[in-house]
Structure 1
């Protein structure tokens, strides 16, 4: 026998057990043995260890049948906290959750700078405060994940954040050196896709999530794992060319998808048409409700170009589920039906298309969920969603 086999098997068994407890919410030892195909002795030994570590709790169910009251086990949500951070242009959002992904606190910090040093100092200050303030649980803050709206390499180096103009920034290293704790960075679209899988689409192995807010990013969960590509830069689907020789893009090409089908492009078009700076969702909703012909035409073009890109995505990846992150789609009547009507290729196959119910919280919820998954060391994480 190779040294370490027993420890490795124990770790694998624990991972399987934790996955099933999370999936069920609350489950008996007997049922755990059935769904995991592990012996009752293995389940009892693992449960005793997890109880000792404070990671699960026992509850006796009240019932009126004859016999012993069943003892159920569940995750101890109060054993620690996950900290998610969404680093955006103009603001940083912090969210703290328990180990079941339920929000404990959240706050938004406006920022008026794009300077790396200033934002780094701000992050250090707030993370240090969270670390100090949330020590009332056994494990404190179990993980910190930052959602980055840009290119993040496989070694978690920031390659480029367009709106902040950051290039080759080692934010992970700088934060870890200052704070003495592990920090993880991940692309925001990947985290949005992860949140959709963890909180909503539990039976999905292959999921694509297109975020349409500041540009277009695509998070990909394939076989229940992130698909990042060679260097970690996969998913920059917004720079797929849909109009050859079209509008110039900051990436250097012309006719990129995000110049026609991102919310930013629609806001820019409407601001120019209406001669109003900083158009809001509320204004667009009002124009739509008033039957403004010009606005309806722009929205129809948005749907048209969005459908072209979605058709390409579906044909390339053949996903179970496609999720769209867009407030404009939520406020434009029948947008969902219009998109589905446009996806009528005989060779285009997917199971379901959804407009996200997580809205703009998805990336930070995904950040918290990733911290929980890594701490509990489970291959697949299913958590209940409560707004």
Structure 2
């Protein structure tokens, strides 16, 4: 039983009720009482508050059964909108979702600069435009979360972004001053992990999400919370050494995992072997369809080194679910069974290892989901996936 002062208990009950409404989509007060084990009086009082705040709406179910038509409660998804931003090297992606996490629009803008001031102005302009466009909804823009492909401290200061060569910049403060609202920064891999938990793996408490694109990142959800480490830098698993005295890495070490098992490493190897610059996913797809030996050998080596790091990671964290984000692995036949074939340690324990179906959009979807979680004050979200507004 939850104990504490009245305001704390009310807050916990409110989050529980909103979570179940989100999970079910549409639910009666009676069913809410059964599922949450809260009294009917508590459900009625909380529902009245949420209706007054226009966060939920009532709908009378039409059916032919004898008896009173039940009044169903559902989230007022259009009461506000979440803005997720993925600030990546070469492009910045924007997604606006409603309160159910359903995308309203997405846009990706090429980024031909690494200059902090120029990128700051671009973000300010876009955020300001969104604020103006959606100001007439009940709550307007309810939250803005930006994915950073680098080190973000626990107080949300950018410590270092390798591809931009940014060090110790306070993007959060600079944006908040310009747009007049709270901004939240989070590591991109953490947001991908949050998206996998919020939209796909609803029954998972401990989830690891490995992103293999330009480097290797690790997003960690432990007991449904981010695991960030002391300063917020946990998850830089791409710099785990898998080959002592191996390929030099920009971090200063040699033999880092991402030099052998990131998609960038595959593209670099294939570029050298095929004398093609730059190698694209389409190139790899075509070579695999033609059963090109160079491409198959490179992919097999990629999977071998990937499995070494996964084995280490699984033994360290003992997760429920491990999600791998990689477009290349989606292209390669039977990549998942091949990975499993290398994970034969008797002490490695996990429930599920899977390839992400969300792809590059997971990061920006996670940003929207985190903004919704903060606004509704519901730490563990179960949102629908696969819908569009």
Q: Shorter-chain-normalised TM-score: which range?
A: over 0.9
Counterpart mapping for 1:149-168 below 5 A: 149-168=149-168
Q: Deviations over 1:71-106 (max 9, x none)?
A: 110111010000000000011100000000001011
- Aligned partner of 2:282 in structure 1 is 282
Q: In structure 2, the residue corresponding to 1:87 is in which secondary structure?
A: strand
Q: CA deviation at 1:386?
A: 1.3
Does 2:114 correspond to 1:114?
Answer: yes
Q: Which moved more, 1:258-267 or 1:4-13?
A: 4-13
User: Could you tell me whether the CA contact under 8 Å between 2:197 and 2:204 is conserved in 1?
Assistant: yes
Q: In structure 1, the residue corresponding to 2:235 is in which secondary structure?
A: coil
Distance 2:106 2:376 in 1: 22
- Aligned partner of 2:201 in structure 1 is 201
Distance 2:36 2:257 in 1: 45
User: Could you tell me whether the CA contact under 8 Å between 2:303 and 2:338 is conserved in 1?
Assistant: yes
Q: In structure 1, the residue corresponding to 2:363 is in which secondary structure?
A: helix
Q: CA deviation at 1:212?
A: 0.1
Counterpart mapping for 1:255-266 below 5 A: 255-266=255-266
- Aligned partner of 2:169 in structure 1 is 169
- Aligned partner of 1:252 in structure 2 is 252
Q: In structure 2, the residue corresponding to 1:248 is in which secondary structure?
A: coil
Q: CA deviation at 1:5?
A: 2.6
- Aligned partner of 1:96 in structure 2 is 96
Unaligned runs of 5+ in 2: none
- Aligned partner of 2:22 in structure 1 is 22
Distance 1:332 1:12 in 2: 46
- Aligned partner of 1:65 in structure 2 is 65
Q: CA deviation at 1:8?
A: 2.3
User: Could you tell me whether the CA contact under 8 Å between 2:270 and 2:294 is conserved in 1?
Assistant: no
- Aligned partner of 2:363 in structure 1 is 363
Distance 1:136 1:352 in 2: 44
Counterpart mapping for 1:339-358 below 5 A: 339-358=339-358
- Aligned partner of 1:34 in structure 2 is 34
Distance 1:10 1:349 in 2: 38
- Aligned partner of 1:293 in structure 2 is 293
Q: CA deviation at 1:374?
A: 0.5
User: Could you tell me whether the CA contact under 8 Å between 2:329 and 2:335 is conserved in 1?
Assistant: yes
Q: CA deviation at 1:338?
A: 0.1
Q: Deviations over 1:203-249 (max 9, x none)?
A: 00000000000100000000000000000000000000000000000
- Aligned partner of 2:373 in structure 1 is 373
- Aligned partner of 2:328 in structure 1 is 328
Distance 2:349 2:5 in 1: 43
Q: CA deviation at 1:10?
A: 1.7
- Aligned partner of 2:53 in structure 1 is 53
User: Could you tell me whether the CA contact under 8 Å between 2:17 and 2:36 is conserved in 1?
Assistant: yes
Q: Deviations over 1:38-59 (max 9, x none)?
A: 1111110110110000000111
How many residues matched? 384
Q: Which moved more, 1:81-90 or 1:59-68?
A: 59-68
Distance 1:192 1:22 in 2: 20
- Aligned partner of 2:238 in structure 1 is 238
Q: In structure 1, the residue corresponding to 2:106 is in which secondary structure?
A: strand
Distance 2:352 2:268 in 1: 31
Q: In structure 2, the residue corresponding to 1:143 is in which secondary structure?
A: strand
Q: CA deviation at 1:9?
A: 2.1
Q: CA RMSD in A?
A: 0.9
Q: In structure 2, the residue corresponding to 1:167 is in which secondary structure?
A: strand
Unaligned runs of 5+ in 1: none
Distance 2:335 2:135 in 1: 46
